[in-house]
A and B are shown apart, each in its own frame.
Chain A
Amino acid sequence: EAEVAQSPRYKITEKSQAVAFWCDPISGHATLYWYRQILGQGPELLVQFQDESVVDDSQLPKDRFSAERLKGVDSTLKIQPAELGDSAMYLCASSDRASTLGGYTFGSGTRLTVV
């Protein structure tokens, strides 16, 4: 069964350091999403890509967060500098255009702890 791959699974970093997460969506999926999930809450969208283009980054804290999907396949999400409040699970999801009504497939996430 096709999966969304994310790495690393866990990351501990000191505040003010830079951190990056990687996501490889299901092959052929044009749409890629990064969500942030704070402990005890539901996932919240940070950024949405359609192929290599950002279509929605309205909830991305652009002063410290950046995301790219240069070739329209895999994607990286970067935080620089990390703050204590960034501790959360960062989830990547993907969908093909035809299946968007059926929701999307999530990866296992990267659990970030900022100390």
Chain B
Amino acid sequence: GQQLNQSPQSMFIQEGEDVSMNCTSSSIFNTWLWYKQEPGEGPVLLIALYKAGELTSNGRLTAQFGITRKDSFLNISASIPSDVGIYFCAGPTTSGTYKYIFGTGTRLKVLA
């Protein structure tokens, strides 16, 4: 079945550093979503991507839809302590009903 693999699994960075993470799929997606989940909370949508090659920003976050449509990247510039959390990519399944599957997550910790 469809799977989304994220790397790295976890990251420990210093405040002010830039962060890059990616998500790869075994199949083609026509939509990519990036969510952030803070401890004890549900995931919150950060960025949605709809077209191969698309580059979209949301403040210090920038995400790209890979040309092959099998991957996506999320970058965070000038990280701050509140960027701590788990970042998930998600893509729509190919089954009949419209729903999303989620990646394995990248856990980010920012050291002040």
Same complex: yes
Q: Which bracket fits the contact residues of B?
A: 20 to 34
Do most interface residues of chain B lie in helix, strand or loop, or is the interface mixed? loop
Of the listed residues B95, B100, B101, the one surrounded by the most CB atoms of chain A closer than 10 A to its CB is B100
Say whether A103 contacts B102, CB under 8 Å. no
Chain A residues closer than 8 Å to B108, beta-carbon distance: none
Say whether B42 contacts A102, CB under 8 Å. no
Chain A residues closer than 8 Å to B104, beta-carbon distance: 41-42
The residues of A with any CB-CB pair to B shorter than 8 Å are 4, 6, 31, 33, 40-45, 48, 50, 55-56, 91, 93, 100-109, 111
17 pairs of residues in contact across A and B, judged by CB atoms under 8 Å: A4-B42, A43-B43, A44-B101, A44-B102, A56-B99, A93-B42, A100-B98, A102-B45, A102-B48, A103-B33, A103-B45, A103-B48, A104-B100, A106-B42, A106-B44, A108-B41, A109-B41
